[in-house]
């Protein structure tokens, strides 16, 4: 019984002041924790043991122990509550894990294999569930549609919202829609189905295989970048547009950028540009610098290396979902 | 120890009445034969109940009853008021809802301290919380 055991340990300690008894006391407390014995109950055991060992314990001493017991009652409740909350937390965690797996199955998109194009993509969630999404679609003529979206916000609500974007995109007719039309239609879906205050930014591009040009439009999304291989320089793909979900009827402007061999289109979310080094945001230049370092590699290796770089910069603790896509024209 | 009746109640109007209710509960549980931890737990539960009356309903009462069904003994405490009531009881019974914050407080804490807990509350009419603890 706990009381007998405790009494013996206590007695041993009082007689010998021995470290071994203290070590056993430590073991005793671990065992008690496992048996779900609360702090006030331990104290009760202590009081009973003391009264057994010292029947003549002074009245002051006895009362002081009772007084101490009184102050421990709330710790006892807190201890029980803590156990329940911990169980609940484990339950939630595994539930979210299931949801996250489901999300990655639902939102899975394969990077298309297209002759003459080298495509790399990476998307990492800051928490278990991502509010970033990218989508590839290839038609019979090997043209490629690319969407990158970012829900303002993180975690589960953002993730739920993303599934909607995916299913809306899937429901559009397979014949080629303009990026500006796709954004206009998506805006309506988002405006109607998402609570006010939740917004989505999105970039949509359509790469025409024959012309080697990208048509694109943006709904308030982080601007894409263009790498000019000949001049070895970067430029921004400016495309202003209102984020999805603000207003019902919005039209978007569409732009075109043509690629020569070696040129690249770089698409990203603000999880990339808003990486932080300590308190400071990194500069876009730094991103470009890092990309340049890995230019000699295939697109997929570039995005992975860039991710690893910024993961390290942020001490392996992403603050926002991180998505980076590179599309390079090959020979 | 003063003689305790089978049934009694303490009106709660002032903060000081909380102490009287605790005292009554402690004396009664001592008489029934509860050990010191249980006495302290019962007193703490009474404290919380009486404080809620004092804080949210302004006045009410705490009733005490000794339970004895041949097989075992126990104590039953009813906290009753005609205050504003609690609109969403389900919510206040969630851990961590209390305005006092932190772990181990409020109505869920009372439930943990006792063996039986029941609450009936109607908006605009009042609140009645019944708790029991059995001697083991
Ligand atoms: N007797 C009561 N009458 C009206 N409202 C009450 C009463 N008891 C509790 N409440 C309401 O329920 C809430 C939760 O109570 P409780 O769990 O004791 O935590 P706390 O008192 O720390 O807020 C209180 O904030 C109060 O709004
Ligand atoms: Mg309270």
Residues of B in contact with A44 (CB under 8 A): 35-37
**Interchain contact A75–B (C-beta under 8 A):** yes
Q: What percent of chain A has pLDDT over 90?
A: 60
**CA–CA distance, B96 with B88 (Å, rounded to integer):** 15
Whole-angstrom distance, CA of residue A226 vs CA of residue B6: 87
Test the A interface: residue of B19, B25, B34, B37 with most A CBs within 10 Å = B37
CA B100 remoteness from chain centre: 17
Specify the pLDDT at position A292: 92
The CATH architecture assigned to B7-134 reads: 2-Layer Sandwich (3.30)
Q: Is the CB of B127 under 6 A from ligand 1?
A: yes
Q: Which two tokens stand for residue A310?
A: 């910024």
Which one of A66, A69, A81 has the shortest CB-CB distance to B104? A81
pLDDT at A280: 65
Write down all domains in chain A, each with its CATH number in brackets.
Answer: 2-99 (1.10.1240.30), 109-329 (3.60.40.10)
Q: Which residues contact A221 (CB under 8 A, 6 or more apart)?
A: A148, A149, A150, A201, A202, A203, A241, A243, A269
Distance CA A108, CA B93 (A): 41
Quick one: tokens of A32?
Answer: 């008690």
SS3 A152: coil
**What string of H, E and C letters represents the secondary structure of B45-66?**
HHHHHHHHHHHHHCCEEEEEEE
Q: How far is A54 from A50, CA to CA, in rounded Å?
A: 6
Residue segments in chain B with a per-residue pLDDT below the cut of 70: 1-5, 101-104
Q: What confidence score (pLDDT) does residue B89 get?
A: 92
- Whether the CB-CB separation of A322 and A131 falls below 8 Å is answered with no
Give the minimum alpha-carbon distance from B43 to chain A in angstroms, rounded to a whole number: 9
Site to probe by mutation for ligand 1, drawn from B92, B102, B113 as the one with most ligand atoms within 8 Å of Cβ, is: B92
The ipTM estimated for the assembled molecules is: 0.80
φ, ψ at A53 (rounded to 5°): -75, -35
pLDDT of residue A272: 76
Q: Is the shortest distance between the CB of B66 and ligand 1 below 6 Å?
A: no
Subunit contact B112:A77, Cβ cutoff 8 A: yes
pLDDT tens-digit series, residues A281-294: 667 778 888 999 99
What residues in A contact B48, CB-CB < 8 Å? none
**A269: how many CB neighbours lie within 10 A of its CB?**
28
The span from the CA of B23 to the CA of A43, in Å, is 22
* Residue in B23, B41, B104, B111 to test binding to A, most A beta-carbons within 10 Å: B104
When CB atoms are compared, the residue of B35, B44, B103 closest to A44 is: B35
Whole-number average pLDDT of chain A:
90
Beta strands in B1-125 (DSSP E): 7-12, 60-68, 73-81, 116-122
The answer, for A46 touching chain B at a CB cutoff of 8 Å, is no
Whole-angstrom Cα distance, residue A321 to residue A275? 10
Report yes or no: B105 at the A interface, CB cutoff 8 Å: yes
B96: closest chain A residue by CA: A81
What is the per-residue pLDDT across A236-284, written as a single tens digit (0 to 9) for each? 998 989 999 888 888 999 999 999 999 999 999 887 777 666 666 667 7
What's the confidence (pLDDT) of residue A28? 94
- Ligand 1 touching residue B7 (CB < 6 A): no
- A77 shares contact with chain B (CB less than 8 Å): yes
pLDDT in tens, chain A (331 residues): 789 999 999 999 999 998 999 999 999 999 999 898 999 999 999 999 999 999 999 999 999 999 999 999 989 988 888 888 889 999 999 998 998 888 888 888 899 999 999 999 999 888 888 888 999 999 888 899 999 999 887 678 888 888 888 989 888 876 668 999 999 999 999 988 887 778 899 999 999 999 999 999 999 999 999 999 999 999 999 898 999 988 888 899 999 999 999 999 999 988 777 766 666 666 777 888 899 999 999 999 999 999 999 888 877 777 788 899 999 999 8
User: With an 8 Å Cβ cutoff, is A79 touching chain B?
Assistant: yes
Closest residue by Cα to atom 18, ligand 1, is: B106
Nearest to B113 among A41, A77, A85 (CB): A77
What residues are paired with A255 via a beta bridge?
Answer: A216
Q: Does A73 touch chain B (CB under 8 A)?
A: yes
Number of Cβ within a 10 Å radius of residue A258: 11
- B104 contacts chain A (CB < 8 A): yes
Q: Are A299 and A240 in contact (CB under 8 A)?
A: no
| Chain A residues lying within 8 Å of B44, measured CB to CB | 73-74, 77
Query: Residue A174's pLDDT is what?
Result: 64
Please judge whether B96 and A41 are an interchain contact, meaning their C-beta atoms are less than 8 angstroms apart.
no
């Amino acid at each position: 019984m706990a009381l007998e055991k405790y009494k013996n340990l206590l007695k041993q300690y009082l007689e010998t002041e021995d470290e071994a008894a203290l070590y056993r006391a430590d073991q005793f407390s671990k065992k008690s924790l496992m048996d779900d014995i609360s702090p006030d109950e331990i104290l009760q055991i202590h009081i009973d043991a003391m009264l057994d060992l010292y029947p003549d314990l002074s009245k002051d001493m006895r009362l002081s122990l009772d007084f101490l017991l009184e102050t421990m009652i709330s710790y006892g409740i807190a201890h029980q509550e803590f156990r329940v909350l911990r169980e609940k937390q484990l339950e939630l965690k595994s539930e979210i894990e299931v949801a996250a797996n489901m999300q990655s199955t639902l939102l899975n998109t394969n990077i298309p294999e297209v002759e003459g194009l080298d495509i790399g993509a990476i998307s990492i969630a800051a928490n278990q569930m991502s509010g970033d999404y990218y989508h590839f679609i290839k038609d019979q003529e090997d043209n490629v549609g690319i969407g990158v979206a970012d829900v303002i916000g993180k975690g589960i609500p953002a993730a739920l919202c993303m599934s909607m974007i995916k299913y809306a995109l899937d429901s559009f007719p397979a014949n080629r829609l303009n990026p500006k039309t796709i954004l206009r239609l998506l805006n309506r879906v988002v405006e109607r189905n998402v609570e006010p205050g939740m917004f989505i930014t999105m970039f949509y591009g359509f790469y025409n295989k024959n012309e080697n040009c990208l048509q694109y439009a943006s709904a308030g999304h982080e601007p894409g970048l263009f790498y000019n291989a000949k001049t070895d320089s970067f430029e921004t793909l400016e495309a202003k547009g209102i984020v999805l979900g603000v207003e019902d009827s919005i039209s978007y402007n569409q732009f075109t950028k043509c690629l020569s061999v070696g040129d690249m289109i770089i698409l990203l979310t603000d999880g990339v540009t808003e990486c932080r080094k300590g308190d400071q945001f990194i500069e876009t230049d730094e991103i470009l610098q890092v990309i340049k370092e890995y230019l000699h590699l295939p697109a997929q290796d570039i995005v992975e290396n860039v991710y690893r770089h910024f993961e390290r910069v942020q001490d392996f603790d992403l603050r926002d979902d991180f998505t980076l896509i590179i599309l390079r024209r090959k020979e | 120890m003063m003689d305790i009746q089978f049934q009694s109640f303490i009106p709660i109007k002032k903060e000081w009445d909380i102490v009287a209710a605790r005292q009554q509960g402690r004396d009664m549980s001592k008489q029934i034969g509860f050990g010191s931890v249980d006495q302290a737990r019962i007193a703490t539960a009474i404290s919380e109940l009486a404080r809620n009356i004092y804080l949210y309903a302004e006045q009410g009462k705490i009733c005490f009853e000794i339970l004895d069904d041949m097989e075992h003994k126990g104590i039953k405490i009813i906290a009753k008021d005609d205050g504003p009531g609690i609109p969403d009881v389900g919510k206040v019974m969630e851990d961590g809802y209390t305005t006092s914050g932190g772990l181990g407080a409020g109505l869920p804490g009372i439930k943990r301290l006792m063996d039986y807990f029941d609450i009936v509350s109607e908006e605009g009419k009042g609140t009645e919380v019944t708790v029991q603890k059995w001697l083991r």
